[in-house]
Amino acid sequence: MFLLLILYTEFWGKIAKEFYWKTPYTGNFMDYNFDLTRAKIYIRCMQGATTNMCYNVLDRNVNEKKLGDKIAFYWEGNKPEDYARITYKELLQQVCKFANVLRAQGIKKGDHVAIYMPMIIELIVAMLACARVGAVHSIVFAGFSAEALSERILDCSCSLLITADGFYRGDKFIKLKEITDEALKLHGENPVKKCIVVKHLKATKENDKTSTQSNLPPAKRACLKLQIPWNEEVDVWWHEVMKEAGEECEPEWCSAEDPLFILYTSGSTGKPKGVKHTIGGYLLYTATTFKYVFDYQPSDVYWCTADVGWITGHSYLTYGPLANGATSVLFEGVPTYPDVSRFWEIIDKYLVTKFYTAPTAIRLLMKYGDEPVKRFSRKSLKILGTVGEPINPEAWLWYYNVVGDRRCPIMDTYWQTETGGHMLTPLPAVTPLKPGSATLPFFSVVPAILSESGEELEGEAEGYLVFKKPWPSIMREVYGSYERFESSYFKRFPGYFVTGDGCKRDKDGYYWITGRIDDMLNISGHLLSTAEVESAIMEHLAVAEVAAVSHPHPVKGESLYCFVTLKDGHEFTDELVTELKNQVRKKIGPIAAPDYIQIAAQLPKTRSGKIMRRLLRKIARNERDLGNTSTLADESVLEALFKNRVETI
């Protein structure tokens, strides 16, 4: 144990030396308590060190590494004709200017700033400028509603909000400024004093007499340009305040344990939790996982398709790649616009070498067959990655065979908003892969599988996935509630960080995530994961996507109710239902055969693409009281699902 501790400290200590610390840490690399029966939970990394995140990801690259002229981001707009690029030097310049704007607005170390923006370069500038002045950013995904935005602004009392006039995702037009204003009006008193607005769609202020458009008849004006509501006391244009800002900006020197950001994670029920991450450990961990998991090389063009509004966009689109001086693609649009080849077209356009996306996108594109992929060469690709949900072997194989032409290893990275970075993941050319398994722990991660009663299970086993030791980027608190932090992650099994995911370890020691613990079910005394059943059904040629949920059964205790989405050109018939049931019988056993299978034109998903099984359970039971649906991407899918319900006993 003692030797392990020395190795751990040596390993991270050496990595820490690659970054800039104004003062080094004193004492232990990490101090923590995971056991609430002994004392309060705490985690601290590199205490005594002072640094600045922005300095490490920008100034260090420009000044020490001489990467100033290297491209930091290729920006690809919603429409293929819209694109831009920014070098490290230019990014640093923009960030310094905006950091000065923040200071001029009275923002100082420790203040909370809400960011509600589309996937544009100004979003990256805004977050890094917060980091430069020591302010804490709280990014709210721009697909969230006014209610969700308001709830998050209030929860962590943001005094400043940064947004844009509007944007397009595919052909969907989102009036961001209007939603922002609605959010600010929702709950009377709101903490936001100023709102900085990026003119992304060339909008003009509503009732702006100075605008040339105002001479036009209203109908013509509306189709020409976007007009947005404007409150002179609160709103300021980004470009106007930037015009006056200076380019010199001394970074705020912060403690390694000062907060970097708060990011809300929805959880399946209840109020979203504000997950707080701190500077030092997060920098080391995201930089190191990015470097090894994607085998980062200076000539890479890396593309992570996640929105910056999610943790993947924070860790592996922004901080991790920038800490390594990488060149990334920042994509504003969606995989199906203007057509379903868009991803592959972008890969060829920028010669992307490392590509990181989510199972939901892979399953969506798989539906359209191989042709749209094969239209593009994808020769530049070297490594593929996936994150967000268990990837069923069927989708894994399609990703590997078709997208990667059997040349590119797939990094199935398991992690959470709470973990800040990859926890279980293969390493390219090191870890033999198994489709559907996130394989093995990353360096210094110590997982365990616990039984219902909290016993650590050895060898081949299935149970609760927990972590026994902290890693540098573990969350530090649930903002505003120590109680929720403790009860969500440390109460069920004292002494461990509890992920809430089920997991299986096979005979080779590989880990297989079986889904959220709430999605497990017990049929006639047999514990089953819905992920297993879903994988078996996915192997059927007609199936594009499937979600299985538990349904009460008078005899068996629980039974399975499945929702299937079919590929284009397939019909939902009684024969197909029988075939699907038989397939599960054959693959897993009769015990797992679903009792009910219903057609679903679409599945209810969170805005980050995760299937909301909680809602499907309710639909299967015909319960209309669905609870909080604010994280749902599209409410309209629910009605069709209720309509096509299968009668149950």
Residues at the interface with ligand 6R9 (CB under 6 A): 265, 310-312, 387-390, 412-417, 438, 499-501, 513, 516, 608
Q: In this structure, what DSSP letter does residue 450 have? A: E
Q: Which is nearer to ligand 6R9, 29 or 414 (CB)?
A: 414
Q: Which is nearer to ligand 6R9, 415 or 467 (CB)?
A: 415
Q: Which is nearer to ligand 6R9, 499 or 550 (CB)?
A: 499
Taking the C-alpha atoms of residue 254 and residue 175, their distance in angstroms, rounded to an integer, is 36
Q: Which is nearer to ligand 6R9, 485 or 596 (CB)?
A: 485
**Residues with Cβ within 8 Å of residue 116, at least 6 apart in sequence:** 139, 140, 142, 144, 149, 161, 162, 163, 176, 180
Which two structure tokens, joined as six digits, stand for 205?
A: 């202020």
Query: Which H helix or E strand runs over 487?
Result: helix 482-489
Taking the C-alpha atoms of residue 367 and residue 177, their distance in angstroms, rounded to an integer, is 35
The pair phi, psi for residue 256, each rounded to 5°, is: -55, -30
Strands (E), 190-317: 194-198, 204-205, 227-228, 235-237, 254-255, 259-265, 273-278, 301-304
As measured in angstroms, the least distance from the Cβ of 436 to ligand 6R9 is 9
Taking the C-alpha atoms of residue 436 and residue 292, their distance in angstroms, rounded to an integer, is 20
**Residues with Cβ within 8 Å of residue 422, at least 6 apart in sequence:** 289, 293, 413, 414, 415, 442
Q: Which is nearer to ligand 6R9, 325 or 385 (CB)?
A: 385
Q: Which is nearer to ligand 6R9, 76 or 501 (CB)?
A: 501
574-587 and 530-538 are packed helices; what angle lies between their axes, rounded to 10 degrees?
A: 120
| Burial label, 578 (beta-carbon count in 10 A; 0-12, 13-18, 19+) | exposed
As measured in angstroms, the least distance from the Cβ of 48 to ligand 6R9 is 30
Q: Which is nearer to ligand 6R9, 54 or 424 (CB)?
A: 424
As measured in angstroms, the least distance from the Cβ of 425 to ligand 6R9 is 8
As measured in angstroms, the least distance from the Cβ of 3 to ligand 6R9 is 31
Which two structure tokens, joined as six digits, stand for 478?
A: 């649930």
As measured in angstroms, the least distance from the Cβ of 340 to ligand 6R9 is 24
As measured in angstroms, the least distance from the Cβ of 236 to ligand 6R9 is 33
Instruction: Tell whether the torsion through CA atoms of 396, 399, 405 and 409 is positive or negative.
Output: negative
Query: Which H helix or E strand runs over 561?
Result: strand 557-566
Q: Which is nearer to ligand 6R9, 273 or 291 (CB)?
A: 273
As measured in angstroms, the least distance from the Cβ of 302 to ligand 6R9 is 17
As measured in angstroms, the least distance from the Cβ of 288 to ligand 6R9 is 17
The count of other CB atoms within 10 Å of the CB of residue 542 is 17
Taking the C-alpha atoms of residue 47 and residue 24, their distance in angstroms, rounded to an integer, is 9
Residue closest to 126 by CA, chosen among 198, 69, 63, 188: 198
Q: Which is nearer to ligand 6R9, 151 or 389 (CB)?
A: 389
Place of tokens 């943001």: 158
As measured in angstroms, the least distance from the Cβ of 6 to ligand 6R9 is 31
Strands (E), 345-455: 354-357, 383-386, 410-412, 447-450
Query: Which H helix or E strand runs over 583?
Result: helix 574-587
Q: Which is nearer to ligand 6R9, 57 or 395 (CB)?
A: 395
Q: What CA–CA distances, in Å, run from 486 to 38, 65, 624?
A: 13, 42, 32
Q: Which is nearer to ligand 6R9, 168 or 294 (CB)?
A: 294
As measured in angstroms, the least distance from the Cβ of 239 to ligand 6R9 is 33
Does residue 254 contact residue 52 with C-beta atoms inside 8 Å? yes
Q: What CA–CA distances, in Å, run from 320 to 45, 118, 159, 381, 440?
A: 18, 20, 28, 20, 20
Q: How many CA atoms lie within 13 A of 62 on its CB side?
A: 16
Q: Which is nearer to ligand 6R9, 340 or 408 (CB)?
A: 408
The count of other CB atoms within 10 Å of the CB of residue 511 is 22
Q: Which is nearer to ligand 6R9, 415 or 471 (CB)?
A: 415
Q: Which is nearer to ligand 6R9, 34 or 414 (CB)?
A: 414
